[in-house]
Amino acid sequence: QKEVEQDPGPLSVPEGAIVSLNCTYSNSAFQYFMWYRQYSRKGPELLMYTYSSGNKEDGRFTAQVDKSSKYISLFIRDSQPSDSATYLCAMSAGAGGTSYGKLTFGQGTILTVHP
């Protein structure tokens, strides 16, 4: 079983739709949770970062973490064609161990937003 599971999609939605992306994880040591966006032939770009259960909002993006269920989500409101990319969830353990800073990624979900 992989430490982080993410549905690879692909996911295709019309412009303006609300998009929901999800990841589950099995390692209870994960304390920090991130969402990266990766355009074709580019490196991943950090979108959202959180370290606690609950919601964090930034513009059209909302990250949700439920540590009790080991489940994280990213919601995109009013999706735009420019949001078309691969979305990667990533997580890491807390400070104090040698694995601090090591990100474990999900497989990535390919999203296409049609005009």
Partner 1 sequence: EAGVAQSPRYKIIEKRQSVAFWCNPISGHATLYWYQQILGQGPKLLIQFQNNGVVDDSQLPKDRFSAERLKGVDSTLKIQPAKLEDSAVYLCASSLTRDRPNFGPGTRLTVT
Q: Which residues bind partner 1 (CB under 8 A)?
A: 4, 6, 8, 32, 34, 36, 41-46, 49, 88, 90, 92, 95, 98-108
CB nearer partner 1, residue 10 or residue 54: 10
- When the beta carbons of 74 and 90 are compared against partner 1, the nearer one is 90
Query: What are 4's two structure tokens?
Result: 């982080």
Least Å distance, CB 97 to partner 1, is 10
- The label of the residue with tokens 């950090």 reads 46
Nearest to 109 by CA among 56, 54, 47, 36: 36
Q: Give the nearer residue to partner 1 in terms of CB position, either 84 or 104.
A: 104
Smallest distance, partner 1 to C-beta of residue 88, A: 5
**b/e 17-56 (16+ beta carbons within 10 angstroms → b):** eebebbbbbeeeebebbbbbbeeeeeebeebbebeeeeee
Report the distance separating Cα 32 and Cα 18, nearest Å.
Answer: 25
Closest distance to partner 1 from the beta carbon of 8 (Å): 7
> What minimum distance in Å lies between the beta carbon of 104 and partner 1?
8
